[in-house]
Amino acid sequence: MLINHHQHRSTTLALITLCVILTSACGDSTSNKANAIDYTKTYPASNGGTLINAMMGEPSGLIAMIAGESAASAIAGNIFNSLLKYDKNLELSGELAQSWDISDDHKTITFHLKPDLKWADNQPLTSEDVLFTWQKVTDENTRTPYGSDYKLVIKAETPDINTFRVTYAAPYAPALETWASLHILPKHLLKDQDINTTAFARNPIGSHYYKLEKWKNGQYLKLTRNINATQGQAKIDHLMSRIIPDKAAQFLELSADNIDSMGLNPIQYARIFPARPDLNKNIALYKELGNSYTYMGFNLKRKPFDDIRVRQAINYAINKQEIIDGVLLGLGEPVASPYKPGTRWSNPELKPYAYDPAKAKALLKEAGYEDHDGDGILDKDGKPFSFEILTNQNKEREMTGVLIQRRLKEIGIDANIRVLEWASFLGRFIKPKEFDVVVLGWSLSLDPDQYSIWHSSQQAAGQFNFISYSNSQVDKLLEAGRLELDPDKRMKIYHEFSKILLEDSPIVYLSAGYGLTAIHKRVKGISNPAPPAGIGHNTYEWYIPKAYVRTEMSEN
């Protein structure tokens, strides 16, 4: 589970100005040249070319267990392997492991690694590397929010160089899934390093399809094909992720044919693209409901958010459909549980809090808030009801904050919005819990276990329960859900957990947005229609026909 975020915008104005100059100076010729190419022609799959995508923020490092953020995982996922992976139908299959056995008592898993695996530096990749990675993720000195899953292993061993075995004290339902999300790290390079501070995070050596070729601060990360890749060879030679911290600037670069793919915002997807036939000729659009949702979370250690009546009142005061329609232009779904709508884990009986200002006011009055001085703002014990909504530099979240602010003002709450650059937001406010309310998002794994987000034991600095939620019933359900192997019984546990969470209102669910992706039609091999795992499930099979390969720009 990763904090879903976007980062830095310090160079936005300069970038936009530069892009406008570039577009007006040479964009027409580039665009006309692109328009002259017929991208509907069929070519056989071939190797070569560079795929350029745009990223909002720069990773803090490329050891995903330490970084704990989606930007890091997006890059690191091309560099490192896990024991298992999900196939296109979201079924677990082998990655580094060619097979695995589960004991009759469901407490022991034995992984059999593929033979003759190598790291990008030509050193052998063995079960010792897997054991080393497990030791690091469970080490108390490793600052990671992911350790809890792996600490349930009471014994880890390597019977031989191609075998890794783990034993749990009790059957653990998400056990297999956890080994699909842990990137295996090289022992020979990290055994004497402090994993929290190692320079390896900026210059990693992995085993997957690509290896890091160059990281230019604030500009781009470039990956090149790894000839020792454990899964065979990808077709595209280079992946370049350009750091462009503004969607408008990204869109100009896409229009000028300087990048191949980006995530669109709803306005770009629903309004700009339909009005631009020149773009539709060259660029394909993809829409998928992702495994994420946006929420407003309360710091439960701060008054008055420790009062359930206040939290519920704010929930009733916010018009969620207004956010879906106004911010997402209808490209989203309402949410009433911390699971993807429509999946078995999402309790169909739960509905979002209705927009009901009268009920909100009644709850606040019950909690002791009234407008005693007639200024339109509620107060209690002589103090006005005022707080700060904190979010990161993300236009959709900023717009969401404005709509929330307006609705809260209508019931007598004075909410101020503060927007921060991601690193500062995380380091100065989230980790030390120095905030009132946040607007953020969660990206979720496919397994329903959310122990690391909601269990009361996961509140230390750097862990995911930074809103300090604590409920003994929820703790027991989360513990039970991890041990229940029967899918139907497990579903009932998580439905009950979601019901309590909705009533408790430690967060206000705002929406589950669609992933809106634009990819240039020069890129071939994309599954259409998309399978359950989404269009990105087979990027190693994507290719760029030689006729469509762009002339590479200088990287000075």
What range does the domain containing 116 cover? 84-190
23 within 8 A of 249, measured Cβ to Cβ: no
Which residues are CB-contacts of 65 (< 8 A; sequence separation ≥ 6)?
136, 137, 142, 144, 146, 182, 183
Distances in Å between the alpha carbon of 393 and those of 10, 138, 425?
Answer: 10, 33, 9
* 49 part of a folded domain: no
* 246 part of a folded domain: no
Per DSSP, the three-state class of 255 is helix
Tokens of 161: 């160089």
Residues 176 and 306 in one domain: no
Determine the pLDDT at residue 56: 87
Residues 179 and 304 in one domain: no
- Boundary (domain end) residue, out of 145, 162, 190: 190
Per DSSP, the three-state class of 243 is strand
**Cis status, amide bond into 204, omega within 30 of 0:** no
* 340 part of a folded domain: yes
Q: Positive or negative CA dihedral for 145, 146, 149, 150?
A: negative
* 416 part of a folded domain: yes
Name the nearest CA neighbour of 64 among 52, 51, 81, 84: 81
Residues 184 and 298 in one domain: no
* 186 part of a folded domain: yes
* 267 part of a folded domain: no
Strand 153-160 and strand 163-168: the pairing is antiparallel
- Boundary (domain end) residue, out of 190, 205, 225: 190
Measure the N-to-C terminal CA separation of the chain; round to a whole number of Å.
36
* 352 part of a folded domain: yes
Q: Give the distance, in angstroms, between the CA of residue 402 and the centroid of all CA atoms in the same chain.
A: 24
CATH number at residue 508: 3.10.105.10
Q: How many helices (H) and strands (E) does the chain have?
A: 19, 21
How far is residue 375's CA from residue 160's CA, in Å, rounded to a whole number?
74
Q: Positive or negative CA dihedral for 172, 158, 116, 119?
A: positive
Determine the pLDDT at residue 246: 87
Determine the pLDDT at residue 16: 29
Determine the pLDDT at residue 1: 43
| Residue found under tokens 């773009």 | 279
Q: Positive or negative CA dihedral for 51, 52, 54, 58?
A: positive
Name the nearest CA neighbour of 132 among 151, 157, 111: 157
How far is residue 206's CA from residue 227's CA, in Å, rounded to a whole number?
11
Q: Which amino acid is at 388?
A: E
Tokens of 137: 């993720």
Phi, psi at 509, each rounded to 5°: -70, 130
Sheet holding 153-160, edge to edge: 97-102, 108-113, 163-168, 153-160
CATH number at residue 184: 3.90.76.10
* 537 part of a folded domain: no
Determine the pLDDT at residue 552: 63
In tens digits, the chain (556 residues) has pLDDT values of 444 433 332 323 233 233 333 333 333 334 444 456 889 898 999 999 999 999 988 898 999 999 877 889 999 999 999 999 999 988 999 999 999 999 999 999 999 999 999 999 999 999 999 999 999 999 999 999 899 999 999 999 999 999 999 999 999 999 999 999 999 999 999 999 999 999 999 999 999 999 999 999 999 999 999 999 999 999 999 999 999 988 899 999 999 999 999 999 999 999 999 999 999 999 999 998 888 899 999 999 999 999 999 999 999 999 999 999 999 999 999 999 999 888 889 999 999 999 999 999 999 999 999 998 889 999 999 899 999 999 988 889 999 999 999 999 999 999 999 999 877 888 889 989 999 999 999 988 888 999 999 999 999 888 899 999 999 999 999 999 999 988 899 999 999 999 999 999 999 999 998 989 999 999 999 998 888 888 999 999 999 999 999 876 544 4
Determine the pLDDT at residue 478: 97
Residues 297 and 170 in one domain: no
> With 0-12 CB in 10 A as exposed, 13-18 as middle and 19+ as buried, what is 302?
middle
- Boundary (domain end) residue, out of 190, 222, 248: 190
Domains identified in the chain, total number? 2
Query: Of all helices (H) and strands (E), which one includes residue 387?
Result: strand 386-392
Residues 297 and 178 in one domain: no
Residues 301 and 179 in one domain: no
